[in-house]
């Protein structure tokens, strides 16, 4: 029987796995001792650099010619995919956590673990504590397993159905648990109206505060955590990979959102803001001396700001940015289904997600 190239590689790897892993561990240790591994920032997609390491083992004359850092290789591969920049950054940051949990010694070991050890991976991921006594929520675990399956599929990495089904089963189980928890929360929690939230926010932080401006912008834009916007005066010749807020003397402010979690499905969207909000935005620009071409909110994580806002406003336990989406959906729950469908499109998620995760099901 003539074996394919993949079969021959697999047979050789299986037969010499212990020896190969021993060499790789030694090379990896040598690399760390030489201080040649640098941490790569994940706020933007970085270019993969292949690290060449030569290390002579004390027990053999053979040498290791190179070791491929798993995260660097993942960055390179995801960067090369035909998906939006926002999607790339989301998946790379997601994989940073997966790699931190699974702790592969190199890229080949990462693929071996993902492909051959789903049960072990699931146990590690589900029980991982990012802080003492703190495990990841079900929605975060779902994103990990979806990302693993996405990675294996997009790179055409062969995985047996029985192994793949382990990840798929986890998605099914976690989906049921999440839906049940959301239903209980929506049925028992008091979700405020957005109008009440804005009133309390204005009273607590002030009408010209960053906090009130963020809440008011979300009430009109209805986007996810995507307020990493660059201030511009002219909407011409803008990058299709970034988000913008257009402010000039001729019209109301306008936001152009290219880069967000579900952009591959829903594409670019643009929202013209109200006159009231435009006046606040212009005052904020003058007060904080925001220059054209710079970030409007000069922070990396809007979600953390909103989380602190919600805590001070005593509306904890309903999410940060997610609370905004829940309030928008809840405010519309008495509307006819077609209008609720339109709201779900503005929120850039499916109507199924909308009804299951954001509003009380009984209202349908």
| Confidence class for position 350, pLDDT limits 50, 70, 90 | low
pLDDT at 186: 56
pLDDT at 30: 56
Q: Is the pLDDT of residue 99 over 90?
A: yes
pLDDT at 110: 93
In a domain? residue 108: yes
In a domain? residue 295: yes
In a domain? residue 177: yes
Tokens of 73: 């290789």
Q: Do residue 131 and residue 153 come from a single domain?
A: yes
pLDDT at 5: 44
pLDDT at 287: 92
Beta bridge partners of 304: none
In a domain? residue 212: yes
Q: Do residue 176 and residue 208 come from a single domain?
A: no
In a domain? residue 175: yes
Q: Do residue 180 and residue 201 come from a single domain?
A: no
In whole angstroms, how far apart are CA 230 and each of 137, 214, 240, 245?
Answer: 32, 15, 12, 6
pLDDT at 55: 41
216-226: pLDDT as tens digits: 998 888 876 66
Q: Do residue 22 and residue 103 come from a single domain?
A: yes
The dihedrals phi and psi of 77, each to the nearest 5 degrees, come to -70, -45
Rounded CA-CA distance 114/164 in Å is 9
| Confidence class for position 112, pLDDT limits 50, 70, 90 | very high
For the entire predicted model, the pTM comes to 0.51
Tokens of 227: 């307020």
Q: Do residue 51 and residue 103 come from a single domain?
A: yes
24: domain range? Answer: 5-186
Higher pLDDT, 241 or 287: 287
């Amino acid at each position: 029987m003539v074996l394919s190239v993949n079969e021959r590689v697999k047979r050789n790897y299986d037969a010499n796995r212990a020896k190969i892993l021993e060499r790789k561990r030694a090379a990896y240790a040598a690399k760390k001792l030489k201080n040649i591994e640098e941490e790569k920032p994940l706020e933007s997609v970085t270019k993969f650099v292949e690290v060449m390491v030569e290390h002579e083992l004390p027990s053999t004359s053979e040498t290791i010619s190179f070791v491929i850092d798993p995260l660097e290789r993942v960055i390179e591969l995801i960067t090369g995919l035909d998906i939006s920049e926002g999607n790339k950054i989301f998946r790379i940051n997601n994989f940073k956590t997966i790699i931190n949990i699974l702790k592969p010694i190199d890229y080949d070991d990462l693929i071996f673990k993902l492909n051959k050890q789903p049960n072990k991976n699931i146990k590690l991921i589900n029980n991982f504590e990012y802080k003492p006594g703190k495990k990841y929520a079900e929605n975060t675990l779902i994103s990990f397993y979806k990302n693993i399956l996405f990675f294996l599929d997009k790179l055409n990495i062969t995985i047996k159905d029985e192994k793949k089904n382990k990840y798929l089963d986890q998605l099914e189980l976690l989906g049921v648990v999440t839906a049940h928890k959301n239903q209980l929360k929506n049925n028992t929690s008091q979700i405020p109206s957005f109008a009440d939230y804005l009133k309390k926010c204005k009273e607590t932080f002030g009408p010209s505060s960053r906090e009130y401006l963020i809440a008011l912008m979300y009430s009109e834009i209805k986007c996810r955590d995507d307020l990493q916007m660059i201030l511009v005066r002219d909407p011409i010749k803008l990058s299709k990979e970034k988000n913008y807020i257009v402010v000039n003397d001729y019209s109301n402010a306008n936001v152009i959102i290219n880069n967000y979690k579900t952009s591959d499905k829903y594409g670019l969207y643009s929202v013209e803001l109200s006159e009231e909000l435009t006046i606040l935005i212009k005052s904020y620009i003058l007060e904080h001396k925001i220059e054209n071409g710079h970030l409007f909110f000069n922070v990396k994580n809007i979600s953390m700001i909103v989380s602190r806002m919600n805590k001070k406003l005593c509306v904890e336990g309903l999410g940060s940015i997610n609370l905004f989406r829940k309030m928008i959906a809840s405010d519309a729950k008495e509307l006819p289904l077609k209008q609720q469908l339109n709201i779900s499109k503005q929120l850039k998620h499916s109507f199924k997600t909308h009804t299951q995760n954001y509003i009380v099901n009984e209202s349908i």
